[in-house]
Amino acid sequence: MTPDDALPVVSVVVPMLDAESTIADLLTSVDQQAFAGRWELVLVDNGSDDDTVGAVKRSIDSAASPEVRSALLVEMDAPKGHASPRNRGAEVARGDILVFCDADDALAPGFLEAIVAAARSSHLAASVQQTVAHRDFSTIPAAARPEPELPTTLGFPVARTCGMAVSRALFEELGGFDPYFDRGGADADFSIRAKTSTGIEPVLAKDALMLVGPRETAGSSFRQGYRYGRSQTRLFERHLAHHDAGRTGPATTVRTLLKLAGRLLRTRSRRRRNALSRSAGATLARAVWSVRLRVRSF
């Protein structure tokens, strides 16, 4: 039996699905973290069809830190989603603080120390996120960032799972992430339940910077937006009693979609096209899923 003083105090949990082309960047950034406490890395492959597992093993073999070299790799084919693989990682993790990261992002230097410090004081912490062009994580962008703020959903501050830290005590009290949100929205649902059930709100760890790769095409941005819109509708359905945000109505939704389509036809900027496509996807999904779930969320 492992003595308690040898157990990690922090577990970094990373769910993976078809992450062969991105996981090495994430693992390199984890390998370069300077953190004085005991920690471990838990990787959960959620049924990848590509060579994600092979890419992980190659990165582990070349890692410098003992934590990455001794990473625990868990294979979980089903169910696929956002909540289930993270819950599985939490089940096998041994730390008192759980840090969740996505397989297609990267941690800036000092991330782990900053996010853990925030979680120790508040039970639930969120990172600052910045999009990096062309997936070049080798240097942190020099451009000044605006003062960061927590994103909100249905009026509640949210800690996104791509850079969330939570105490095991709170995670277990809430029953982990709800598998109903395996298709998106698990982090928002978790944050809302933390507030409504325990009174705990996420705090923003301003020195914990998560570097996020961009969506490459308007199509992938639209699909991302659609997933967001679908998740928002499910969140509205689940948390109807707490929802106080305004709703626009079908006519306004149609007008919004037409305006977005017109702007898409006129713009030449790839970045702008991606942003407009994401907005169009979210708007359409909210309308479609409002009908399917029989809730008025748009």
- Name the CA radius of gyration of the chain, rounded: 19
Given 195, 212, 229, the domain boundary residue is 212
Domain of 32?
A: 4-212
Instruction: Check: CB of residue 140 under 8 Å from CB of residue 108.
Output: yes
Half-sphere exposure of 194 (CA within 13 A, CB side): 27
Instruction: Look at residue 53 and tell me if it is in a domain.
Output: yes
Rounded Cα distance between 7 and 17, Å, is: 28
Both 144 and 245 in one domain: the answer is no
Both 201 and 227 in one domain: the answer is no
Average pLDDT estimate for 222-228: 87
Average pLDDT estimate for 116-127: 96
Is the pLDDT higher at 255 or at 188?
Answer: 188
Percent of the chain clearing pLDDT 70 (strictly above): 87
Given 155, 190, 212, the domain boundary residue is 212
H, E, C per residue of 181-217? HCCCCHHHHHHHHHHHHHCCCCEEEEEEEEEECCCCC
| pLDDT score at 58 | 97
Both 67 and 190 in one domain: the answer is yes
Instruction: Check: CB of residue 66 under 8 Å from CB of residue 8.
Output: no
Both 141 and 226 in one domain: the answer is no
Q: Which pLDDT tens digit goes with each residue over 97-115?
A: 999 999 999 999 999 999 9
Angle at 292 between CA 286 and CA 294, to 5 degrees: 90
Using pLDDT thresholds of 50, 70 and 90, give the confidence band for residue 23: very high
Is the pLDDT higher at 154 or at 214?
Answer: 154
Instruction: Look at residue 267 and tell me if it is in a domain.
Output: yes
| pLDDT score at 277 | 86
Using pLDDT thresholds of 50, 70 and 90, give the confidence band for residue 207: very high
| pLDDT score at 289 | 85
Both 39 and 129 in one domain: the answer is yes
Looking at residue 144, what DSSP letter applies? P
Q: Which pLDDT tens digit goes with each residue over 140-164?
A: 655 545 567 899 988 899 999 999 9
Please check the confidence at residue 3 and state whether its pLDDT lies above 80.
no
Instruction: Look at residue 14 and tell me if it is in a domain.
Output: yes
Both 99 and 28 in one domain: the answer is yes
Both 34 and 88 in one domain: the answer is yes
Amino acid identity of 10?
V
Is the pLDDT higher at 226 or at 159?
Answer: 159
| pLDDT score at 280 | 87
Both 98 and 227 in one domain: the answer is no
Query: How many structural domains comprise the chain?
Result: 2
* Strand-pair partners of 19: none
Rounded Cα distance between 90 and 98, Å, is: 7
Instruction: Look at residue 205 and tell me if it is in a domain.
Output: yes
Q: Which residue in the block uniquely carries the two structure tokens 């008192």? A: 96
Instruction: Look at residue 298 and tell me if it is in a domain.
Output: no
Both 90 and 227 in one domain: the answer is no
- Tokens representing 3 are 């003595």
Average pLDDT estimate for 86-99: 98
Both 191 and 50 in one domain: the answer is yes
Both 71 and 206 in one domain: the answer is yes
Lowest mean pLDDT among 48-52, 78-82, 118-122, 138-142: 138-142
Both 61 and 157 in one domain: the answer is yes
| Cα end-to-end span (Å), the chain | 54
Tell me whether strands 203-212 and 124-131 are parallel, antiparallel or unpaired: parallel
Rounded Cα distance between 210 and 77, Å, is: 27
Given 183, 212, 241, the domain boundary residue is 212
Instruction: Look at residue 263 and tell me if it is in a domain.
Output: yes
